[in-house]
Every structure is written in C-alpha cells, then in structure tokens.
C-alpha cells in the first residue's frame, strides 16, 4: 500500500482555522450579493461603506474558493493515495453523492416553501436548483451542478479525477489547468459547470503538491525566487486587465496559511477552530436561512421606511453583512445540533458514526 504523503507542518491547527474562515466568507458572499447589494440604491447614508462590502467580496474572489478547495484536496490525500477504489466508492464517494442529492432536494423544498408561503419573493435572480419551477428542472439543474450544494458535487468529481491520475500528478495538474482555462474563457456554459471546471486545479494542488505550498508559506529565503515570480506574474496579469488572475490565487493560498498560522500563535482560536470540524451543516443550510432572514429583513426595512433614516441606513451599511452572516451560520449550527441525533444523523452522513460502530 502506498504511504500517505505527510505535511511538513507539525501544528496543523491552521487547517481548521482556514476552513472556518472560508465557510464564513462563503456565507458572507451569499449574504452580500445579491440581497444586500440590491439595497444600496435605497440607502440614505453609508452607501460608500455598503459598496465597500461588495468590493471586499470581489477582492476575496481569488482566495475564497481556491483556498477552500486546496484544503479539501489536502484533507483528501489519504482517500486518494491509500484507499482502494472499492473502499473509496463505498465510503467517501457514496457519502458525497448522497449528501449532494439529499440537500439539493431539501434546499429546494425549504426555499420553495419560504418563497411561496412566507416572503413571497426570491432574494436572487440567478439560475439555481433551489428556485426550480418543477421536479424535472430540479433534476436538470442538480445534474449540471447549478445548485447551492455544488461544492459536494465538485468534491465527488475531483476525488475520482485525482484517484484516477494519482500516478501521473503532473499530467493530472495539466488537465486541471485546462479545465480552469475552459471555465474562465467560458467555453463551458453555465455557472455550475464553470465552477466545477474552475476549481479542480486547486483541489489537485492540495492533493498532490501541498508540501511545497506549505513550505512557501513559511517565508524561507530559498522561497524568495518563487515569491518574486508569482508577484511578477500577478502584477503582469493585472496590468493586462485579466480578470481571472490565477497568479493571485496561487499567492493567496500560502498567504492564507501563514495568516492562519499567525492567528493561532497570537490569539485564542479554539472556538473558531471548532467550526472547522463542522463546516458541512453551515454549508448545506446557510442558503436556506439567507433566503428566509435576509428577504424578511430587507422587506421589513423597506416597508417601514427604515432606509429613509440616515442612522438606520448607516447601521445597515456597517452591520448587516457581518451580523446576517453570523446569524445564518449560528442558525445552521443550532438546527444541526437539534437534528443530528438518531435518524436525523442521516441528514449529514450516509453512514453516521453510530451506525458504523454498530
């Protein structure tokens, strides 16, 4: 059996910190765009601050999902390198596909109820399986990956790709780069398939080349030429007006690792790191709570003239994105704690730990 590659880090708390930060940034992104952004024109004060949140999300685009998938690839190394196809298919792959299909259905049912029975309107105009007008459309969008749970679908495909190409990591990485280019050049239609193609590269880097990336995050003198090359490439791509700056994503990953390592060294991060172990419920349920809480608060503020008040508008511009992010994440964790027992455990795992032990 092939030995599982080991990370050079002795202290891997930064992985949990990074996972926690990434899931919160994902929630923040969905809170901000489009719901919050659509209120900017109505604000009587704080528009520049509110616009800053949109800009903040835009600047984080090279980091948010690339880093998330890099860490996912790193954590999947054992499955890729040490487990046989049968064990992998009956374990991790089956679990990912099960969770993806289950939560596509549950999200659709929940959001349909919220939109038609509570809020009366959807918060986003985007094409998404949660807004499917029929079961047939739900199936089509789910198969295309045009779902709020697409990350699980992506992991399912990426693990198969990495497992099949584990003996040829450079060839596999080249294929990941071609998929990335196909996505950014929009040779693949639809945001779902584009996302599935776009982030395979970062998962494969995590699965096959995490050690040099982690070494790069340690600021050693021998890494200086690599840093200069990456910085030069990023500056050149930005000067050329290339919006999908791959070099910036390559820079963001070791920077994020270094930042999380520093955070663990300087601050108490126990609670934040705990979230890193339970990102699944936040990921699969936050979109439902955004549809409920965000739409309800925006409607309430609009109906009661809240945006006509400069004080309220300023509070909204400053506080709405972080507070709504924390509310939706907390609600998801609270519901998970309530549901994740007995038969409810199967909402979050095909074979819950209790069933495996039995």
CA–CA distance, 179 with 252 (Å, rounded to integer):
20
- Give pLDDT, residue 353: 65
The model's pLDDT over 26-75, given as tens digits with 9 standing for 90+, comes to: 999 999 988 899 999 999 999 999 999 999 998 888 889 999 999 999 99
354 band by pLDDT with thresholds 50, 70 and 90: low
Select from 154, 133, 150 the least CA-distant residue to 204. Answer: 154
Mean pLDDT of the chain, nearest integer: 91
Domain membership flag for residue 6: no
- Residue 6 confidence (pLDDT): 44
Interval 252-266 mean pLDDT: 93
CA distance 322 to 67: 21
pLDDT the model gives residue 7: 45
Residue at 2 is within a domain? no
Cα separation, 237 vs 245, in Å, equals 6
Q: Give percent above pLDDT 70 in the chain.
A: 95
Task: Work out how many domains the chain is built from and give that number.
Answer: 1
Where b means 16+ CB within 10 Å and e means fewer, 164-200 reads: ebeeeeeebbebbeebbeebbeeebeebbbbbbbbbb
Residue 286 lies in a domain: yes
Q: Is residue 73 part of a domain?
A: yes
Q: What is the pLDDT of residue 325?
A: 97
Mean pLDDT, rounded, for 276-297:
95
Range of the domain at 73: 13-357
Can you give the pLDDT at residue 11? 65
d(CA 158, CA 168): 15
Residue-wise pLDDT tens digits, 121-172: 899 889 999 999 999 999 999 999 999 999 999 999 999 999 999 999 999 9
Does residue 52 lie within any of the structural domains? Answer: yes
Please, which pLDDT band fits residue 10 given cuts at 50, 70 and 90? Answer: very low
Is 246 contained in some domain? Answer: yes
Q: Nearest Cα to 64, choosing from 27, 38, 91, 102?
A: 27
312 belongs to a structural domain: yes
State the pLDDT confidence band at 76, using cuts at 50, 70 and 90: very high
7 lies in a domain? no
- In whole angstroms, what is the distance from residue 142 CA to residue 97 CA? 11
Contact between 53 and 32 (Cβ < 8 Å): yes
pLDDT at 242: 80
Question: How do residues 174-222 score in pLDDT, each as one tens digit?
Answer: 999 999 999 999 999 999 999 999 999 999 999 999 999 999 998 888 8
């Amino acid at each position: 059996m092939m030995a599982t590659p080991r990370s050079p880090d002795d202290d891997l708390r930064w992985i949990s910190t990074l996972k926690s930060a990434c899931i919160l940034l994902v929630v923040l992104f969905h809170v901000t765009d489009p719901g919050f952004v659509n209120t900017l024109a109505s604000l009587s004060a704080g528009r520049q601050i509110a616009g800053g949140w949109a800009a903040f999300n835009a600047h984080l685009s090279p980091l948010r999902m690339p880093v998330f998938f890099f860490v996912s690839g790193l954590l999947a190394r054992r499955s890729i390198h040490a487990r046989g196809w049968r064990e992998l298919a009956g374990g991790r792959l089956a679990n990912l596909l099960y969770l993806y299909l289950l939560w596509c259905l549950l999200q659709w049912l929940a959001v349909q109820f919220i939109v038609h029975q509570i809020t009366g309107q959807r918060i986003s105009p985007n094409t998404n399986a949660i807004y499917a007008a029929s079961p047939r459309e739900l199936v089509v969008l789910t198969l295309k990956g045009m779902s709020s749970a697409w990350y699980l679908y992506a992991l399912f495909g990426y693990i198969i790709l990495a497992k099949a190409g584990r003996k040829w990591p450079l060839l596999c990485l080249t294929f990941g780069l071609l998929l990335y280019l196909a996505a950014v050049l929009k040779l693949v239609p639809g945001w779902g398939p584009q996302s599935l193609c776009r982030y395979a590269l970062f998962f494969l880097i995590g699965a096959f080349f995490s050690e040099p990336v982690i070494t790069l995050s340690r600021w050693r003198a021998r890494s200086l030429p690599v840093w200069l090359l990456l910085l030069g490439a990023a500056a050149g791509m930005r000067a050329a007006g290339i919006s999908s700056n791959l070099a910036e994503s390559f820079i963001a990953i070791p920077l994020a690792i270094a930042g999380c390592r520093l955070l663990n060294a300087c601050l108490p991060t126990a609670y934040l790191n705990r979230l890193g172990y339970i990102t699944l419920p936040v990921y699969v349920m936050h979109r439902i709570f955004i549809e409920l809480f965000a739409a309800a608060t925006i409607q309430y503020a609009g109906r009661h003239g809240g945006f006509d008040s400069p004080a309220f508008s300023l509070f909204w511009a400053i506080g709405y994105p972080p507070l709504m992010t924390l509310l939706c994440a907390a609600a998801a964790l609270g519901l998970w704690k309530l549901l994740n027992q007995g038969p409810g455990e199967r909402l979050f795992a095909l074979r819950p730990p209790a069933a495996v032990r039995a």
